[in-house]
Each structure stands twice: as C-alpha cells, then as structure tokens.
Amino acid sequence: MESRQPAPSDEFAPASEVTFSHWLQYLAIRGIVSVLRLIGWRAASQVGALLGRLAYSPVGIRRRVVQRHIAAAFPDYTPAQVERTAIAAYESLGRTSIETAVLAGTSPERITQLISETHNWELFEQARAQGKGVILATGHLGNWELGGAYFAARGVPVAAITRRMQNPLFDRYLRGTRASLGVEVIHDAVAVRRVPRALGEQKMIAFLCDQDGIGLASTFVPFFGRPARTPRGPGVFALRLGVPVLFACCVRKPDGTYRIAFENVPVTNTGHREHDVDEIVAGFTRQLEAAVRETPGQYFWHHRRWKRQPPDTPVHLREP
C-alpha cells in the first residue's frame, strides 16, 4: 500500500516562471497547430501517424522502454510482434497528439460524427439518472481527449482531472482549448476540494487512471501481472459520495472514426474503506487491461507504468 494523504492544494500557488524556452516551445506549437487546421482532420491525423513513426525510427525516442513494456505485457509475442505493436503505438500517439491539437477548431457536430459507435450507452444514462454525477475511469488508450470532447458535444457537463504541464504557457493554452470544447479542467492537486463540488453539480468527472503521480493518494494493483501504483481518487470519491463509476475508452476504428464502450465498475461498501477503495481501483484497472489487450497498438506504452513498486516485489515482477 501507499500513502493515503492527498497532495497539498496548488490552486493559489504562483505560476511557474515563464522562460525564453517556454516561449519558443509555445510559439512553435501554435504555429504548427495553425497549419494543421488548414489541412483538415484526416490529413492532420495522417501527419501525426507519420511523425509518430519517425519518433520510433530513426529518432528512437523511448523506443527501448516501449519495446520492453510490450514484451513484458505480452510474453508470448515474438520480437517481430513486439516491434509491430511498438510502431503502431508510436503512430497512434502521433495521431492522438495531432488530433488533439486540432480539436479546438472542430464543431460539436463533427465531433459527434467522429465517434461513429457507442456500446452500452444506456449504462451511462442509468448512472446519470441517479442524480449524483458520474465518475468515469479511463486510460491512455486511443484518443482520450476526443472522448472528453464527445461527452461535452452531447451536452454532458464534463470535468477532467489533469496534471499541470511543465510549460505554463502551454498549460494555459491547453486548458483554454479544453474549455472551448466544454471540458472543465481540475488540476489533480485541488481535486479533493473541487471534485465533490463538481459531482454535486451532476457533472461527469473523468479520471485518467493509468499514470503514477508523485504526491497523489495511490495504491498498488496488478496491471498485466505486475504491481502498478495507481490513483485511488475514483474509489475514494465513489464511496464517500455514493457516486456510480463507469469505465470507458475512446478507441480508433480502422476507418479513422472512434468507438466508445462503457462498463460498470463494481462499487461495494463493506464498511472496510481502505479495502473497498482498493477493490474499485483493481476493478477498473482490470477493465483497462482487457481493453488494452484488444488494441495494444493504441496504448501509451511510453509511460513507465511500473516504475514505482512495493519494496518486496519479486524480481521477476519488477519494472521490465
């Protein structure tokens, strides 16, 4: 187990000092985005795939990390299968990055067209009907930013839990683009205070639950058989406030459109709060693993998911 203490609030902390390097990065990004918006969604997505492929080879950014992670998650894969999956993951990340960059200029009608299929949408409607808000657990699979924009385009009040970007100019820009799509941003450091208020307003709160954040209340649960440090927030809020929890991912289809499928995350209140929270976290992590197994080439293998583990983790289950 890990610390149960939430991170201190940073809502009123001064912004990071803006450097000349920050300005260069920010202006370059804004310039690239302006050009990409001129060529349209599909062409921009293809550019993203090309950039992702170049990042894999010849540039090789985190290539060995990605290959090790895939090989560890799928021990039966041949080296050729590992490489094909790694290339697909780079292309997918490139597509997601570029698609996200041009999302702000996309109409709600176009966004709803891009999600050409939903599965078990009635589960979402049933959860909303309880009048307590909805917690959505998801992961870095497919295009998570488009998924959030889709809910907003359908008139669902949405808030997403995010971490601050290192570049304060880009952080402000990204927050603004999300707001233009109807997605409220709640920084993780102030989630303890802001999330109950947002749920009280019957919003859907989206948690990206597959990245380890220093200072976040977390627990260790299995992910592809290895202990992975995972945020406890969805479980804590669900039990404390009686809010339903769903799992969903926005996964790319062969035709370039997307599919969102929903599952209920079991929430059981036995009175043993720590155990019950851990069971919720383990539940949506199992659902994410199953979704990744279906489309491993769309997962963000670049993150060191098993970097922090319990000290008694057996050698064969440590970070690959």
pTM of the predicted structure, to 2 decimals: 0.90
Q: What is the pLDDT of residue 216?
A: 66
Single-letter amino acid code for the residue at 112: T
Q: What is the mean pLDDT of the chain?
A: 90
Residue 224 has pLDDT above 50, yes or no: yes
The two tokens of residue 258 are: 């997307």
Domain boundaries, the chain: 20-317
* Cα–Cα separations (whole angstroms), residue 26 to 33, 38, 94, 169: 11, 19, 18, 6
Q: What is the pLDDT of residue 213?
A: 62
Tens-digit pLDDT profile for residues 175-198: 888 888 999 999 888 889 999 999
Separation of alpha carbons 193 and 198, rounded Å: 9
Residue 26 has pLDDT above 80, yes or no: no
The two tokens of residue 110 are: 């176009």
Q: Is 220 helix (H, G, I), strand (E, B) or coil?
A: strand
Cis peptide before 6 (omega within 30 of 0): no
Q: Which helix (H) or strand (E) holds 261?
A: strand 258-264
Q: What is the mean pLDDT of residues 241-254?
A: 97
Residue 16 has pLDDT above 70, yes or no: no
Q: What is the mean pLDDT of residues 130-138?
A: 97
